[in-house]
Amino acid sequence: MKNFDDLKKKCLGCQKCELSKTRTNVVFEDGNRQAKIMLIGEAPGANEDETGLPFVGRAGKLLTKILTEHGIDREKDIYICNTVKCRPPENRVPTDFEKQQCREYLDSQIEYVNPRIIILCGMTAVKSMLDTKLSISKIRGKFFDGPNFSKMIPIFHPSYLLRNHSTEEGSPRFLTNQDIEKIKNELVSL
Ligand code: SF4
């Protein structure tokens, strides 16, 4: 692939898996291609499919709010994408085949952005990038070696946080705040 825009163009016309038949828009990216932080989510939902942008529904708004509360600008400081670029019907989890077919886009995005920190947002992103059988509650907030000397860190998906409103100590929301603060501190030290 010659450059980032060629990759995007190829992805926008992709028909490598069945999700191409039911999507409205391919959801390729949002944010800053030069950012030091990259966030990988699962797959587009209804709002994302409609707009062509990742993390714009209720979960995305919560993610943006949490990042902002920690002084991380969603447009400036982060590059955002998903494991698969087209919406699975009924928001089901993408199949292994769909993830495999879409992987070339994700790998190229990582190569082009070359982030220092990769946030793995939810279990689908974790399973795509880490060889682990552990649950996300066991590995969230921990740094793992990533591609090209980057560091990868799993966090809870914001859709999970939407179902768990508590901010009490030990709650998913509380732990996510800790994780984002840890990411911010790591970024300062890079
Ligand atoms: S999900 Fe990925 S592989 Fe499947 S059609 Fe969309 S862009 Fe292509």
Residue nearest to atom 4 of ligand 1 (CA): 17
The alpha carbon of 20 and the centre of ligand 1 are apart by a number of angstroms equal to 6
Q: What mean pLDDT is predicted for residues 169-190?
A: 94
Instruction: Report pLDDT for 187.
Output: 87
Q: How far apart are CA 154 and CA 140, in angstroms?
A: 5
Q: How far apart are CA 30 and CA 7, in angstroms?
A: 14
Give the Cα-Cα-Cα angle 87, 118, 155 (nearest 5 degrees). Answer: 75
Domain of 123 in residue numbering reads as: 4-189
Q: How far apart are CA 129 and CA 38, in angstroms?
A: 13
Burial 81-98 (b: 16+ CB within 10 A, else e): bbbbbbbbeeeebbeeeb
The verdict on the CB of residue 27 being under 6 Å from ligand 1 is no
- Give the global pTM: 0.96
Question: How many folded domains does the chain comprise?
Answer: 1
Instruction: Report pLDDT for 19.
Output: 98
Q: pLDDT-derived band of residue 183, with 50, 70 and 90 as boundaries?
A: very high
Residue 79: give its domain's CATH number.
3.40.470.10
Q: pLDDT-derived band of residue 1, with 50, 70 and 90 as boundaries?
A: low
What are the tens digits of pLDDT across the range 7-32? 999 999 999 999 999 999 999 999 99
pLDDT of residue 190 exceeding 80:
no
Q: How far apart are CA 31 and CA 16, in angstroms?
A: 25
The verdict on the CB of residue 17 being under 6 Å from ligand 1 is yes
What are the tens digits of pLDDT across the range 106-163? 999 999 999 999 999 999 999 999 999 999 999 999 999 999 999 999 999 999 999 9
Q: Return contacts of 171-179, CB within 8 angstroms, 24+ apart.
A: 175/140, 175/141, 176/66, 176/140, 177/66, 177/69, 177/70, 178/141, 179/140, 179/141, 179/153, 179/155
